[in-house]
Amino acid sequence: MLEDKNKKRKIGNIPYIYPIPMALVGANVHGKPNFELVGDLGLMGIKPALVYISSGNTHYTNVGILENNTFSINFPRTDMLALAEHCGTVSGRDEDKSGLFEVFYGELQTAPLIQECPVNLECKVMKEFSIQHRQIFVAEVVQTYVDDSLVEEKNGNLIFAELAKFDPIIYTLGDRYYRIGKSISVGNNRKRRKTRS
Amino acid sequence: MLEDKNKKRKIGNIPYIYPIPMALVGANVHGKPNFELVGDLGLMGIKPALVYISSGNTHYTNVGILENNTFSINFPRTDMLALAEHCGTVSGRDEDKSGLFEVFYGELQTAPLIQECPVNLECKVMKEFSIQHRQIFVAEVVQTYVDDSLVEEKNGNLIFAELAKFDPIIYTLGDRYYRIGKSISVGNNRKRRKTRS
């Protein structure tokens, strides 16, 4: 019986990395903000702050990233899903998406940030490479913006609200979206980062 | 009032990419399976299947990845959190972690896969580079294994169970873990992948 319970099925070369946060990546293309919906992004390091995005090499957003060497990562709430999907369905070559959101700029001045998204990262490209039909942009985060209602400072430490209040859009393969669930209480995971495992 | 609601707070260069799935990355170091807990991993492409992991350049696991040019990504369930954290706290240099899990091998023969994890990816390194103190391994997925109870085939398509049944460990900054929440019904997001946004 135990054998059956743990029986594995080969499903082929499917990159079942799950679940992933969906983000709107912003770049100024020829001076105008453009946004694309991206799931292929993530962390490469916390200190220093290192992130990446992977974008098909024909994508319009890439033009702007290469132009300015900057981009933004903006996390929409689940109630922005339809608009986020629109950004992923229509190319900036065919539609001006600059008016879809209230845009603000930060320290880099060329990375368009979305006011309506609770979290925004301003990113400066450190390395770019192509692999297969993808263009990978590895970037340092120069500044991060969070809705004031979702973070507070206590004794010099930042305390973030529960993720359910951010209400991020979570994606998994099979074209399904999820909300975040409940938090899990844990032990001493603070030690984790110090390891050389 | 609206202005207050959307007021942003600068929190510095914090890579607030959230939420992220936690995985156990496996590699054979000098012929013995070793596992490290990693949050800095993700998708770079779906077709072809492209993923990456980022690992501190002193990590023991890296030795094995460079030795064989292969590694595995294994997603533990939330009930494996204590064991997963243990893998992230103790280095393979100090403790033999090969007996912590039931290990199996697939097509690459050198990437140790964890039987107890519901999803396992066998990865072959395509590109490696160093940036800051991180070593980045970009890899193709050659085979993916899913617990038989979590996937079925219908008319030639793979149908995956709800993510709650996989019960992955989700991490966010501030050392907090979460469970996956409810699924969100959506429109025609299938179009999304065809765009050049």
What's the pLDDT tens digit per position in B136-165?
Answer: 999 999 999 999 999 999 998 999 999 999
* Residue B191: CB atoms within 10 Å: 13
Contact A16 B178 (CB under 8 A): no
Of the candidates A15, A85, A131, which has its C-beta nearest B126's C-beta?
A131
What pLDDT does A76 receive? 97
Contact A78 B184 (CB under 8 A): yes
Cβ contacts (< 8 Å) between A8 and chain B: which residues?
104, 115, 120, 145-148
Q: Which pTM does this prediction carry?
A: 0.93
d(CA A137, CA A69): 9
Flag whether residue B99 sits within 8 Å of chain A, measured between CB atoms. Answer: no
Q: Which two tokens stand for residue B60?
A: 């023991």
Contact B8 A115 (CB under 8 A): yes
CA-based R_g, chain B, Å: 18
> Torsions phi, psi of A133, nearest 5?
-100, 20
Q: How does DSSP assign A114-132, residue by residue?
A: ETTSSEEEEEEEEEEEEET
- Select from A116, A87, A113, A120 the least CA-distant residue to A26: A113
- Select from A136, A140, A135, A137 the least CA-distant residue to A122: A140
What percentage of chain B carries pLDDT values higher than 70?
91
CA-based R_g, chain A, Å: 18
Cβ contacts (< 8 Å) between A151 and chain B: which residues?
9, 11
- Select from A60, A82, A84 the least CA-distant residue to A71: A60
Of the candidates A9, A73, A106, which has its C-beta nearest B148's C-beta?
A9
**Residue A194 confidence (pLDDT) above 70:** no
Indicate which of B17, B40, B127 best probes the interface with A, i.e. most A CBs within 10 Å of its own CB: B17
In terms of Cβ atoms closer than 10 Å to its own Cβ (0-12, 13-18, 19+), residue A155 is: exposed
Nearest residue of A to residue B135 by CA position? Answer: A44
What pLDDT does A185 receive? 75
Contact A197 B92 (CB under 8 A): yes
**Of the candidate ranges A127-141, A144-158, B63-77, B126-140, the one whose mean pLDDT is the lowest:** A144-158
Contact B150, B165 (CB under 8 A): yes
Distances (CA, A) of B174 to A120, B78, B86, B171: 17, 18, 19, 9
Indicate which of B1, B2, B6, B8 best probes the interface with A, i.e. most A CBs within 10 Å of its own CB: B8
d(CA A42, CA A24): 13
Contact B6 A191 (CB under 8 A): no
What pLDDT does B1 receive? 41
The interface predicted TM-score (ipTM) is 0.92
- Select from B184, B97, B182, B108 the least CA-distant residue to B143: B108
In terms of Cβ atoms closer than 10 Å to its own Cβ (0-12, 13-18, 19+), residue B154 is: exposed
What pLDDT does B117 receive? 98
Contact B9 A145 (CB under 8 A): yes
Q: What tens digit of pLDDT does each residue of A149-172 get?
A: 999 999 989 999 999 999 999 999
d(CA B77, CA A91): 38
**Nearest-CA distance A89 → chain B (Å):** 5
**Nearest-CA distance B72 → chain A (Å):** 12
Q: Which two tokens stand for residue A137?
A: 């942009």
Contact B42, A182 (CB under 8 A): no
Strand partners, A27: A34
Ranges assigned E (strand) in chain A: 8-12, 20-21, 23-29, 32-38, 41-45, 50-56, 70-75, 103-104, 113-114, 119-131, 134-147, 151-154, 157-160, 170-172, 176-184
What pLDDT does B197 receive? 67
What pLDDT does B196 receive? 62
Of all helices (H) and strands (E), which one includes residue B125? strand B119-131
**Residue A100 confidence (pLDDT) above 70:** yes
- Select from B98, B97, B101, B99 the least CA-distant residue to B114: B101
d(CA B136, CA B126): 11
Cβ contacts (< 8 Å) between A106 and chain B: which residues?
10
Contact B176 A183 (CB under 8 A): yes
Flag whether residue B48 sits within 8 Å of chain A, measured between CB atoms. Answer: yes
Arithmetic mean of pLDDT over chain A: 91
What pLDDT does B190 receive? 46
What pLDDT does B174 receive? 77
Model confidence at B64, pLDDT cuts 50, 70, 90, reads very high
What pLDDT does A186 receive? 67
Q: What sign results for the dihedral spanned by CA atoms B195, B47, B127, B169?
A: positive
Q: What sign results for the dihedral spanned by CA atoms A49, B16, A25, A149?
A: negative
Nearest residue of A to residue B129 by CA position? Answer: A127
What pLDDT does B175 receive? 80
Q: What tens digit of pLDDT does each residue of A48-75 get?
A: 999 999 999 999 999 999 999 999 999 9
**Of the candidate ranges A93-97, A131-135, B86-90, B185-189, the one whose mean pLDDT is the lowest:** B185-189
What pLDDT does A174 receive? 76
Contact A42 B40 (CB under 8 A): yes
**Could you tell me how many CB contacts below 8 A there are between chain A and chain B?**
365
d(CA A29, CA A75): 20
What pLDDT does A4 receive? 54
Model confidence at A118, pLDDT cuts 50, 70, 90, reads very high
Q: What tens digit of pLDDT does each residue of B10-49 get?
A: 999 999 998 899 999 999 999 999 999 999 999 999 999 9
Cβ contacts (< 8 Å) between A42 and chain B: which residues?
17, 20, 40-43, 52
Q: What sign results for the dihedral spanned by CA atoms B128, B131, B134, B138?
A: negative
**Of the candidate ranges A113-122, A167-176, B58-67, B85-94, the one whose mean pLDDT is the lowest:** A167-176
- Select from B131, B135, B161 the least CA-distant residue to B147: B161
Nearest residue of B to residue A107 by CA position? Answer: B10
What pLDDT does A2 receive? 45
